[in-house]
């Protein structure tokens, strides 16, 4: 879907939300967005296909049946006042895109400011760590990437990425404290040992200075099932709790939580150590856990916490090893 159509769909929803108690004529909608009544009808049909419940037709006018749970800038910006994500002009929403991380990396390379947010209802080529895909079905998950421009050396970016995991964990706790979320180093979030969130952090840096970072967060929210290849390893907040979650509420809480972690990290010299400590405290497998590390060469051992840069330490028969990347499996 092209950005112009995206913007027009957003405007129709905003106009219908602003006038939620009345029927809005097709002519009024057409005038407001500068198009024809037949184009408004086509856009309304498109919104219905996306799951937005709109009553009416061109002759009678249109009315929203329910405020849709879409991640539109208008739905988010006012709740984000006081954070680096508050500017509705730099919150970008897409109904369908290849990958919000790719879009954000491209925008960052063109100078998009810190705090820019990229959200999609659906990704056609969602990317995970290590060349994996991220299953991104329409309007059931949060697919979110943010641009940050911290004055940090590249070696500190892992800690920022760990902080993003803590931010997601705090978000879920804030919205529903019955859910217990576990952190798996470096960037997986699990419920009942199944993954419901992954984080892909990408950066452009000089040797000593970060130019920009994109933190991409995928959260499985309202999925009721997964394709066969994922069903044993993936879960969603909906599956874990049996109830539907508001993606708008979660997304606002997520961006606020991310803002808190990020500001602390760039402003408070003690935050780096504090993040490492909290990650250890909130992860069941960072210390004293038997693991297999699937890196270039596989090895097994017992986890011994994080080093000062955030890398996982594993005690093997041959001695202490530092895990720089790869997959950690509890055994």
Binding interface with ligand BTN (CB under 6 A): 99-101, 123, 126-129, 132, 134, 143-145, 188, 198-200, 216-218
For residue 46, with 0-12 CB atoms within 10 Å meaning exposed, 13-18 middle and 19 or more buried, which class applies? Answer: middle
Q: Count Cβ atoms within 10 A of the Cβ of residue 311 and give its class: 0-12 exposed, 13-18 middle, 19 or more buried.
A: middle
> Between residues 44 and 293, which has the closer beta carbon with respect to ligand BTN?
293
User: Which CB, 112 or 217, lies closer to ligand BTN?
Assistant: 217
CB of 199 to ligand BTN, least distance (A): 6
Give the residue at shortest CB distance from ligand BTN: 198
Burial class for 81, CB neighbours closer than 10 Å (0-12, 13-18, 19+): exposed
Q: How far is the CB of 154 from ligand BTN (least distance, A)?
A: 19
Q: Which is nearer to ligand BTN, 68 or 141 (CB)?
A: 141
CB of 171: closest distance to ligand BTN in angstroms?
15
Q: Kindly tell me which of 24 and 236 has the beta carbon lying closer to ligand BTN.
A: 236
| Of residues 30 and 252, the one with the C-beta less far from ligand BTN | 252
Element (H, E) at 210: strand 210-220
Least Å from the CB of residue 136 to ligand BTN: 6
Q: Sign of the CA dihedral 231, 235, 239, 244?
A: negative
Closest approach of Cβ 13 to ligand BTN, in Å?
22
- Inter-CA distances, 82 with 77, 78, 86, 195, 249, Å: 10, 9, 7, 31, 17
Q: Cβ closer to ligand BTN: 86 or 189?
A: 189
CA-closest candidate to residue 198, choices 141, 255, 248: 141
Q: What are phi and psi of 292, to 5 degrees?
A: -115, 130
Sheet strands (E) in 46-158: 54-57, 61-64, 91-94, 117-120, 141-148
Q: Which is closer to ligand BTN, CB of 83 or CB of 100?
A: 100
Question: Residue 2 corresponds to which tokens in the numbers above?
Answer: 């092209």
What is the spatial distance between Cα 198 and Cα 251, in angstroms, rounded to a whole number? 15
Q: Residue 117 CB, nearest distance to ligand BTN (Å)?
A: 11
Give the shortest CB-97-to-ligand BTN separation in angstroms: 9
């Amino acid at each position: 879907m092209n950005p112009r159509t995206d913007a027009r769909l957003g405007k129709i929803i905003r106009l219908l939300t602003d006038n939620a108690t009345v029927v809005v004529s097709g002519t009024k909608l057409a005038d407001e967005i500068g198009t024809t009544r037949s184009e408004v009808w086509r856009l309304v049909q498109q919104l219905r296909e996306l799951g937005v419940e709109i009553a009416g037709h061109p002759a009678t006018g249109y009315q929203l049946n329910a405020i849709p749970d879409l991640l539109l800038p208008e739905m988010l910006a006012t709740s984000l006042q006081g954070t680096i994500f508050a500017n509705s002009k730099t919150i970008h929403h897409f109904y369908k895109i290849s990958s919000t991380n790719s879009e954000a990396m491209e925008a960052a390379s063109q100078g998009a400011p810190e705090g820019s947010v990229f959200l999609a209802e659906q990704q056609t080529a969602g990317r995970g760590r290590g060349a994996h895909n991220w299953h991104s079905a329409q309007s059931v998950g949060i697919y979110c990437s943010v641009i940050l421009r911290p004055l940090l050396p590249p070696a500190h970016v892992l800690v920022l990425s760990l902080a993003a995991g803590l931010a997601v964990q705090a978000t879920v706790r804030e919205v529903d404290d019955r859910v217990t979320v576990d952190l798996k180093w470096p960037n997986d979030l699990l419920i009942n040992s199944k993954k419901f969130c992954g984080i892909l952090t990408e950066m452009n840096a000089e040797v000593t200075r970060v130019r920009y970072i994109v933190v991409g967060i995928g959260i499985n929210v309202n999925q009721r099932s997964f394709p066969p290849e994922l069903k044993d390893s993936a879960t969603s907040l909906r599956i874990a709790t049996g109830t539907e979650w508001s993606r708008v509420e979660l997304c606002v809480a997520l961006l606020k939580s991310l803002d808190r972690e990020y500001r602390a990290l760039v402003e408070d010299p003690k935050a780096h150590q504090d993040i490492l400590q909290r990650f250890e405290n909130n992860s069941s497998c960072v210390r004293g856990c038997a693991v297999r590390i699937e890196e270039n060469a596989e090895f097994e051992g017992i986890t011994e916490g994080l080093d000062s840069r955030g890398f996982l330490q594993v005690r093997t028969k041959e001695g202490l090893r530092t895990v720089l990347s790869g997959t950690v499996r509890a055994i």
